């Protein structure tokens, strides 16, 4: 039940977000001074000492980092969608991308511990044998993004989201759950207090009647209970302050979706 229009909308939002930056800026801009330095000087009588390389500032984001980050973000988003869809294979593929591509990036030495934590979490998703493990590891992974952004005082700024779906039909509730997952993820990755709160609050109060599920009686009772469990997690999410705890709750939230979508819905 991959929600293609939703994914399309996401990709559009992402590419819009990327518009204000020239992502095609040539990488050679940075390489220019080095090239010049290596050009042979015409017959220098006394060779001038080479210009000292500017001391690289550890905290300066390397060139193209923002592009790399955007791609990480796209895969983290796809990963979330895959877990919601109950598509373990796709989730593993998205995590694998991070595992394979991240080490190719040239990052400051001082970021190593953060990057290692991110890689470890991505490796855990890639190795997941079932959806609940993939969902929880996805929470961890997203947590490592936010921890680094918070520590460096850098990271994405998310625009005001579209309003949350209203109504009590199954489709409307599902859209709301999806919306909540996206906002929580942004709340963690940013990190963003307002996005986290918006996400948590959208699922913190259970509607008077559980979500109508077509042919729900064929589902195991523990699967049907996930309908209420979503709101228990939402209420807890609304109370949670710590980034690590938020990441854990978000992972738990994702297990509910997978539990039902795979359970025959």
Q: Which residues make up the interface to ligand HEC (CB under 6 A)?
A: 1, 3, 21, 61, 65-66, 69-70, 72-73, 76, 84, 111, 114-115, 118, 141, 144-145, 148-149, 152, 154-156, 170-171, 174-175, 177-178, 181, 189, 213, 224, 226-227, 230, 253, 256-257, 260-261, 265
Helix axes 131-152, 243-262, angle to 10 degrees: 150
Residue nearer to ligand HEC on the CB measure, 144 or 192: 144
CB of 56 to ligand HEC, least distance (A): 14
**Measured from the CB of residue 85, what is the shortest distance to ligand HEC in angstroms?**
8
Q: Which is nearer to ligand HEC, 66 or 120 (CB)?
A: 66
Q: Between 37 and 113, whose beta carbon lies closer to ligand HEC? A: 113
Task: Quote the least distance from Cβ 201 to ligand HEC, whole Å.
Answer: 14
**3-class secondary structure, 56:** coil
Token pair of 144, please?
């490592």
Is the CB of residue 234 less than 8 Å from the CB of residue 249?
Answer: no
CB of 32 to ligand HEC, least distance (A): 19
- Nearer to ligand HEC by Cβ, of 48 and 166: the residue is 166
Q: Write down the least CB distance from residue 28 to ligand HEC, Å.
A: 18
**CA pseudo-torsion sign 56, 32, 103, 76:** positive
Q: What residues contact 180, with CB distance under 8 A and at least 6 apart?
A: 164, 199, 200, 202, 203, 234, 253
Distance CA 139, CA 245 (A): 10
Helix extents (H) in 21-87? 28-38, 65-85
């Amino acid at each position: 039940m991959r929600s293609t229009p939703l994914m399309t909308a996401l990709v559009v939002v992402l590419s819009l977000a990327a518009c204000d930056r020239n992502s095609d800026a040539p990488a050679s801009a940075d390489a220019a001074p080095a090239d010049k330095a290596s050009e042979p000087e015409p017959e220098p009588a006394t060779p001038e000492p080479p210009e000292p390389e500017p001391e690289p500032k550890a905290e300066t984001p390397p060139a193209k980092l923002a592009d790399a980050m955007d791609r990480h973000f796209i895969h983290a988003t796809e990963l979330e969608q895959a877990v919601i869809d109950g598509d373990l294979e796709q989730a593993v593929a998205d995590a694998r991308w991070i595992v394979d591509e991240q080490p190719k990036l040239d990052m400051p030495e001082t970021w190593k511990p953060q990057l290692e934590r991110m890689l470890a979490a991505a490796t855990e998703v890639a190795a997941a044998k079932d959806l609940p493990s993939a969902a929880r590891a996805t929470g961890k992974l997203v947590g490592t993004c936010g921890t680094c952004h918070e520590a460096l005082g850098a990271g994405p700024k998310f625009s005001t989201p579209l309003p949350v779906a209203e109504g009590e039909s199954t489709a409307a509730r599902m859209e709301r759950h999806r919306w909540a997952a996206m906002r929580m993820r942004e709340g963690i990755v940013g990190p963003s207090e307002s996005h986290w709160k918006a996400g948590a609050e959208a699922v913190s109060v259970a509607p008077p009647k559980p979500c109508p599920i077509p042919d729900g009686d064929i589902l195991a009772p523990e699967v049907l209970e996930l309908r209420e469990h979503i709101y228990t997690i939402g209420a807890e999410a609304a109370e949670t302050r710590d980034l690590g705890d938020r990441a854990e709750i978000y992972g738990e939230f994702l297990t509910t979706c997978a539990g039902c979508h795979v359970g025959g819905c």
